[in-house]
A and B are shown apart, each in its own frame.
Chain A
Amino acid sequence: MTLALDTTPRVRRTRVLPGFRLTLGITLAWLSAIVLIPMIALVSRAAGVGFDGLIATATDPRVLASFRITFGASLIAAAINLVFGSLLAWALVRWRFPGRRLLDGFVDLPFALPTAVAGIALTTLWAKHGLLGSIAEAQGWRVAFAPPGIAIALVFIGLPFVVRTVQPVLEELEPELEEAAALLGASRLQTIGRVVLPELIPALLTGFTLAFARAVGEYGSVIFIAGNRPGQTEIVPLLIVTKLEQYDYAGAAALAVLMLAVSFVMLLAINLLQTWATRRHAR
């Protein structure tokens, strides 16, 4: 009987491929050093204002207005990028035309350009007497030093995120899928709506999320074009910098924590949406 006991298979928890503990350890240490510890420092700093202080900050009309403008403009910019970024990715993947490589390279420019440079360039372009600004002005539209200007700056810096996430997925998409749909009698619109877009949804959501997250945190390009009028074109990052310049560290930290909380909730929501979309997909 003892023999029989000895041969009972034991549940073995070791993994076939080594390195799990090591890689997890490095991952956690790195994440802590780079992301978690600074976040904790931020929160502890913000704790200085106390809970009431936090509420007071959150309900300040100037703060509320800056949150509206930051998150509103970021959402609009991400949505615009979603549409035009996908079209751009589509054109780059599907068609072969002279200068395609060059155009493909331009897409990454917003990654590399110092955002302040982008902000100054955009402001010059869209100011009252600028190249595009004069045209807009003639139509009665104010772009620079107004909310549309903020959105334009955010579109600029967010574009590569959508293009670069959608592009590889489009490249992987077999042309046979579209051919099959067409032979089954689907019109071009039906093919795109029912076959192509559903395949792209996870990538579109990722691109949207990245563009949005980037836009929320953007500072450099926006402050040049926004005009920075309190309550109208003042973004949250600028308000934080203003508080820092007034040596109100706790207030700045409180604002930052609020911003962090809102961003986190929104990103979490998009992530959940994405999980749901992916689950409907092939596993």
Chain B
Amino acid sequence: MARPDGDRIVTIEALGLEKRFGAFAALRGVDLKVEPGELLALLGPSGSGKTTLLRTIAGLERADCGQVLYEGIDADTISLRDRRVGFVFQHYALFRHMTIADNIAFGLKVRPRRGRPPRAEIKARVEKLLELVQLQGLGGRFPAQLSGGQRQRVALARALAIEPRVLLLDEPFGALDARVRKELRRWLRRLHEEIHVTTIFVTHDQDEAFELADRVVVMNDGKIEQIGSPAEIYDQPATEFVYEFLGGANRLPCRVEAGVALIAGTRLATDLPRDFSGEAIAFVRPHEIGVTRPNGHLDDLAHVRSILPIGPDARLDLEHQSGHIEALVPREALDAAGIGVGSRCAVRIARARVFRASS
């Protein structure tokens, strides 16, 4: 498969998209710009609107409000055929009564006579695509004779056959088992490096989003919470929701005085305005917490409930007056401080992100 021509790589923009299904608001004002050639993940829990956003970009749903632009042109004015969207469905949506080769050739065969490649060329292209998705020699089979992973690759080849300007994948690996999913993920990443077509995929699996995507869009409740590279999202979650969704972080209620938070006995500067005082929520990742011998203070004192060694580190279950805290500390430090199950220790917070308590 040849590298797509310059004119095929397009910028896609969503402007103020809103969509309701009855009483349910699936999209509530979504703005997004997809850069040419990038691999973008839409990440969020179910019901967050990510699939609706993808389907709206594809043209399978029409937004109640707002616009989708393909290279600056209102997509509503472009027919589905002329959009040249390669779409891969979660459950493949292969045509069961057609062979694999016929499935892949479908998009070429249905073209009007003028734009349709000659039969021999279609055949050659199908062969190339079969090779690209590593299914050489299986062109004569029927979808039911393939495994799930193979079927999903056929779906991808079928979508690529029309030389799409953008590739949209809806939970592409959702129906596959964990091992196949990992393999396909890596394979898709390589494929994208090879053909560089603008790609958007929907997932609820953060590992998948972080491993594959150049940029990740975190969605919640019909809105975008944060857009950024995987590292940006992991290092600086923009909102409480992103922290919660990424998981693994301790959620500690705390008190902020003049922009400084008191979290489990540790005083930390925050990004909150200097003049802010009041209740807040601090998010602290387990490795951002240290423990020392008790030092006589009461507000940082915790009770060690359990210790689980993980390689050179240990996962600690701590009971603090503000709640349950999970910490990940080097085992050496534990031994040095003489901390064991049932003993008491002092908690040290190295880093935290503090958000105003919403209610």
Residues in chain A within 8 A of chain B (CB atoms): 174, 176-177, 179-187, 190, 194-195, 198-199, 280-283
Residue B97, interface by CB 8 Å: yes
A167 and B19 alpha carbons, distance in the complex (Å)? 31
Query: From residue B166, how far is it (CB to closest CB) to chain A in Å?
Result: 11
User: If A194-B110, A282-B142 touch, does A180 touch B89 (CB 8 Å cutoff)?
Assistant: yes
- Are A199 and B96 in contact, with the CB atoms below 8 A? yes
A222 and B81 alpha carbons, distance in the complex (Å)? 51
Closest to B115 in A: A185
- Are A195 and B95 in contact, with the CB atoms below 8 A? yes
Query: From residue B116, how far is it (CB to closest CB) to chain A in Å?
Result: 10
- Are B142 and A283 in contact, with the CB atoms below 8 A? yes
- Are B96 and A183 in contact, with the CB atoms below 8 A? no
9 pairs of A and B residues whose beta carbons are closest in the complex: A282-B144, A184-B107, A176-B93, A185-B81, A282-B96, A186-B110, A180-B93, A198-B97, A183-B87
Q: Contacts of B89 on A, CB cut-off 8 Å?
A: 176, 179-180
Residue B181, interface by CB 8 Å: no
Number of A-B contacts (CB under 8 A): 71
Closest to B168 in A: A183
Interface size on B, residues (CB 8 A): 29
**Option from B85, B91, B106, B144 in Cβ contact (under 8 Å) with A176:** B91
Closest to A202 in B: B97
Given A182-B80, A187-B110, A282-B96, 20 other A-B contacts at CB below 8 A?
A: A174-B93, A176-B89, A177-B93, A179-B60, A179-B87, A179-B93, A180-B89, A181-B110, A182-B81, A184-B107, A184-B162, A185-B81, A185-B107, A185-B111, A186-B81, A190-B110, A195-B95, A198-B98, A281-B142, A283-B145
Q: Contacts of A280 on B, CB cut-off 8 Å?
A: 97
Q: Contacts of A281 on B, CB cut-off 8 Å?
A: 96-97, 142
Closest to A195 in B: B95
A180 and B97 alpha carbons, distance in the complex (Å)? 15
Query: From residue A86, how far is it (CB to closest CB) to chain B in Å?
Result: 17
Closest to A281 in B: B97
Give chain B interface residues in 62-114, CB to chain A under 8 Å. Answer: 80-81, 83-87, 89, 91, 93, 95-98, 106-107, 110-111
Query: From residue A273, how far is it (CB to closest CB) to chain B in Å?
Result: 15
A91 and B98 alpha carbons, distance in the complex (Å)? 26
Q: Contacts of B110 on A, CB cut-off 8 Å?
A: 181, 184-187, 190, 194
Closest to B84 in A: A185
- Are A184 and B91 in contact, with the CB atoms below 8 A? no
Q: Contacts of B144 on A, CB cut-off 8 Å?
A: 282-283
Contact with A along B198-230 (1 / 0, CB 8 A): 000000000000000000000000000000000
**Chain A interface, >50% SS class:** helix
Q: Contacts of B87 on A, CB cut-off 8 Å?
A: 179-180, 183
- Are A183 and B80 in contact, with the CB atoms below 8 A? yes
Closest to A198 in B: B97
- Are B93 and A199 in contact, with the CB atoms below 8 A? no
Query: From residue B303, how far is it (CB to closest CB) to chain A in Å?
Result: 54
Q: Contacts of B93 on A, CB cut-off 8 Å?
A: 174, 176-177, 179-180
- Are B97 and A184 in contact, with the CB atoms below 8 A? no
- Are A186 and B106 in contact, with the CB atoms below 8 A? yes
Query: From residue B178, how far is it (CB to closest CB) to chain A in Å?
Result: 24
* Interface CB pairs A-B, < 8 A, 30: A176-B93, A177-B95, A179-B60, A179-B87, A179-B89, A179-B93, A180-B95, A182-B80, A182-B81, A183-B60, A183-B80, A183-B83, A183-B85, A183-B86, A184-B106, A184-B158, A184-B161, A185-B84, A186-B81, A186-B107, A194-B106, A194-B110, A195-B95, A198-B95, A198-B97, A198-B98, A281-B96, A281-B97, A282-B96, A282-B142
Give chain B interface residues in 236-258, CB to chain A under 8 Å. Answer: none
Residue B58, interface by CB 8 Å: yes
Q: Contacts of A183 on B, CB cut-off 8 Å?
A: 58-60, 80, 83, 85-87
Q: Contacts of B96 on A, CB cut-off 8 Å?
A: 199, 281-282
Q: Contacts of A181 on B, CB cut-off 8 Å?
A: 95, 106, 110
Q: Contacts of A174 on B, CB cut-off 8 Å?
A: 91, 93
Residue B172, interface by CB 8 Å: no
A148 and B277 alpha carbons, distance in the complex (Å)? 89
Residue B143, interface by CB 8 Å: yes
- Are B60 and A282 in contact, with the CB atoms below 8 A? no
Closest to A174 in B: B93
Q: Contacts of A199 on B, CB cut-off 8 Å?
A: 96-97
A176 and B95 alpha carbons, distance in the complex (Å)? 10
Interface centre among B97, B98, B159 (most CB of A within 10 A): B97
**Option from B58, B143, B162 in Cβ contact (under 8 Å) with A185:** B162
- Are B158 and A282 in contact, with the CB atoms below 8 A? no
Interface centre among A176, A183, A195, A283 (most CB of B within 10 A): A183
A73 and B141 alpha carbons, distance in the complex (Å)? 41
- Are B111 and A282 in contact, with the CB atoms below 8 A? no
Closest to B55 in A: A179
A198 and B99 alpha carbons, distance in the complex (Å)? 13
A190 and B109 alpha carbons, distance in the complex (Å)? 10
A176 and B86 alpha carbons, distance in the complex (Å)? 13
A232 and B181 alpha carbons, distance in the complex (Å)? 69
A277 and B145 alpha carbons, distance in the complex (Å)? 17
Closest to A199 in B: B97
Closest to A193 in B: B110
Q: Contacts of A198 on B, CB cut-off 8 Å?
A: 95, 97-98
A190 and B81 alpha carbons, distance in the complex (Å)? 12
Q: Contacts of A185 on B, CB cut-off 8 Å?
A: 80-81, 84, 107, 110-111, 162
Query: From residue B305, how far is it (CB to closest CB) to chain A in Å?
Result: 49
